[in-house]
Structure 1
Amino acid sequence: MCRRGRHPADTEGGLLKLVRTPGLTLGVAAGGVIQVNTDDGSYGVISRGGNLAPQLYGPPDVAMSIEGELRRLGRWHDGCVKNMTILTVPVRARFDAIESTLNALAAKRGIEWYYGNVYGEDCTTPLNWWVS
């Protein structure tokens, strides 16, 4: 089942703690704290919540077809629209396990996926926030 609508956040002192991973907002995931510039809508990451933000491009029912495998990784489903599903997976689930699961789905069902908060603005350089 897809959740749609606003992604609520806790606020305190101008900072936002993300309750869910927002779609199409790169660089952040649930649990992270950001500060938004209300003048231009830009944002900066203050702290990371320890979660990865896989974004699946294809019908939501395809992503939901591997619900059991995704749950074993500790993931939760943040929302979807017609051809995009947003997930949150704790980084402790390990990249190799996440990638194996999502790559198998992509090969079998013809979807594409991308980590929404792993790479920099050039879409290739790892941010490495999980290394520390």
Structure 2
Amino acid sequence: MLVNVYVAHDDKPVFEELPVREIEKDTYELLSSPGLALNLARGDIFRIKDKHAHPEVLKRGGNFCIHIYADEISPENITCLENDVVSQLNGTLDGVFQGNLTLAVPARNGMDKIADVFDAFREKTGIEWYFANIYKNIDDDEDETLLNWWLDS
């Protein structure tokens, strides 16, 4: 099943359609990490109380969501990154749209090990990456207060 998740308001509400498993009315398990929506990753259980607000995360699935945005990424570089993420981190490439990638990586790897893999990709390609589900205030790019949910994983 697919559900529309609120992303932001840019003249009008912006939504991302995501694959989910319905647990009960308005409560879902995310089956693939989002490419636009922040504060979610594959395996998270969340509730949509208000369709024009960010969903409420009820339980973390234990994965970091990694976003990479670029004008384009060569298929060879995508394949190489996917192979590294699978073999070194037991993660997955959850989405590809033009030069944008979304990956899910188990938090149990630790942020340093995860950063090593993605920093190597950045050094090779010049393309930046970031954790998409670690910040408390997702509506303020300047606020870097961490959620720290992974410390309990």
Q: Does 1:42 align with 2:71?
A: no
- The SS at the match of 1:131 is helix
User: Greater shift after overlay, 111-120 or 58-67?
Assistant: 58-67
Residues paired across the two proteins, number: 128
Q: Which whole-Å CA distance do the structure 2 matches of 1:110 and 1:45 have between them?
A: 33
- 2:6 corresponds to which residue? none
For structure 2, list consecutive stretches of 5 or more residues without a partner in the other structure.
Answer: 1-15
Match of 1:12 in 2: 23
What aligned pairs does 1:47-62 form with structure 2 within 5 A after superposition? 47-58=59-70, 59-60=72-73, 61=75, 62=77
Taking structure 2 as the reference length, the TM-score comes to 0.76
Q: Which residue of 2 aligns with 1:115?
A: 131
Match of 2:84 among 65, 69, 72: 69
Are the counterparts in 2 of residues 56 and 63 from structure 1 also a CA contact under 8 Å? no
Q: Which runs of 4+ in 1 moved over 4 A?
A: none
CA deviation vs aligned residue, 1:95-116 (integer Å, no higher than 9, x gap): 1111011111112211111101
Task: Kindly indicate which of the two structures has a greater share of residues assigned to strand.
Answer: 2
Cα displacement (A) at 1:41:
4.5
Q: Which consecutive residues of structure 1, in runs of 5 or more, have no partner in the other structure?
A: none
What percent identity do the matched residue pairs reach?
Answer: 30
Higher RCO, 1 vs 2 (CA within 8 Å, ≥6 residues apart): 1
**2: CA distance, partners of 1:71 / 1:10:** 24
Distance 2:79 2:105 in 1: 14
**Does 2:39 align with 1:27?**
yes
Indicate if the aligned counterparts of 2:94 and 2:103 stay in contact, CA closer than 8 A: yes
C-alpha RMSD of the superposition: 1.8
- TM-score (norm. length: structure 1): 0.87
